[in-house]
Structure 1
Amino acid sequence: MSPNTLESIKSYYNARAPGYDTETNFHPHQASDYLHWISPKPGMHILDLACGTGAITLPLKRAVGPTGRVVGADISDVSLEIARSKAEDEGLDIEWVECDISTIYAVPGIEEGSFDVVSCAAALVLLKDPGMAVREWARLLKPGGLLITGVLTGDTMVRGIVLDRVAEEEVMGLLRSAGLDGGESFLTESYAEPKYLDVEKAGEMFDALFEEAPVPRTWYADLVVPSRREKSKEIFEREMKKLAGPDGKLVEYVRFHMAIGRKV
């Protein structure tokens, strides 16, 4: 199952949605950072892409107030239902859109030049064509509006990267290709304690990934069917050793290359 198919992404996040708010400290920590970077003010219009269960969306609406507009978009209907329920409990008037965020521009009411900020937290890696998506999101900004997004660093979730050696795109390059002034880029702190990996135990890591981690079980299940498992493990061990330093060790983080581009 490819991680870049819409149905697999939707199914994966629908399954995680009920426990998403409490499954890790990573999500609230990252949400707090995004709120700081966005710096929402009364009356602003903000589009929160891949909004999930509303960790960023709800506080954005509290900040922009009744004169502001906040739209939360996500492909997971279960996540949106949870977010909608939380907003209703607080009496927050937020617009929720279930869609492929790559094509948000096709949703009625999402108009070119209508948002002060477009944000997308931790979802670029899921998109089939992130460059195209960023260009379309940039069109939705008002003059002077900000697009805020990021990509995982090369030392983040190393074991997952090895499972799927995908090409990486520089996030600043994406913003510039969309006609934005990529004026600010920075590296976030790690959202989890560093994990030290011993590549001599790569075979054990491979087995543990499919026993403990939801992403491999969902998106890479075909790698461990009986006819493929041993060959998959052999390739995994080889690729881990390629990434390791002379001491046979790797350090794994959870951090992002962030970029903020302004529409000129």
Structure 2
Amino acid sequence: MVKIYENGFSYDYTWHAVTLAYFLRYPNPYSTHVISSDVISRHIDDTGCLHTVRIHHKRGKLPAALTRLLPSISDSYILETSKVNPRTMVMETETRNLDHTSILSVIEQQTYTPSEAGDITNVRTTVRFDSRFGNRRSQNQPTEAEIQEAHQQQQEKRGLFGFGFGWGKQGVQRTIEQLGARRTAEHVGSSTKGMQLVLDRLRKIGLIGARGVERVGDGEVGWKAVWRRVREEIPKAEGIDAGVGV
């Protein structure tokens, strides 16, 4: 059982600027759920392509509809791989969650290519949602009998969370996949706004400004302090919902 979400978007910036902004997109006030980002490996192959592997630590709330059956999940680790080909001007990226995959596996693939004129960068996104909930029961997952018992107790005639199908294993899997796709669609705007903010910083104040290094008097604030300010102060000042994820 797999659900696919697809989306296309264009940035009014050159391919070189957008690919650079991709690696600088955290921190930004639209992604306050990202706790940290670390480079695991980076190398240039024989064809001149740049390969990078990073891991992102994210924190967020589980959708309320899932808290009835699933354990409390707040932290997640995301593996990101990317390949930048400067000759063909194509960047391909893939992100996937490393934990909670028995509940929902999310694999996002993106392709960044320039327009014919070269002043616009087109992004094509495909996200694959695959829930194997109940196939291999972990210690924290309810059994089929427990799911059915919850169904009887709740007496929800329309099925799990109002999606129109029952509380059986396949119904739960479809619901989890639909919730994942819906949440992704809702957060597309925040993701593009975060990238747009980094691109604007690159244009106005250059690479150092885009990375978030700020000067206070004669000194510099380190990245940890900047990260804290981005996550706490800027969203409040600009009226941005700090709970919005990307």
TM-score (norm 2): 0.26
More helix per residue: 1 or 2? 1
TM-score (norm 1): 0.24
More strand per residue: 1 or 2? 2
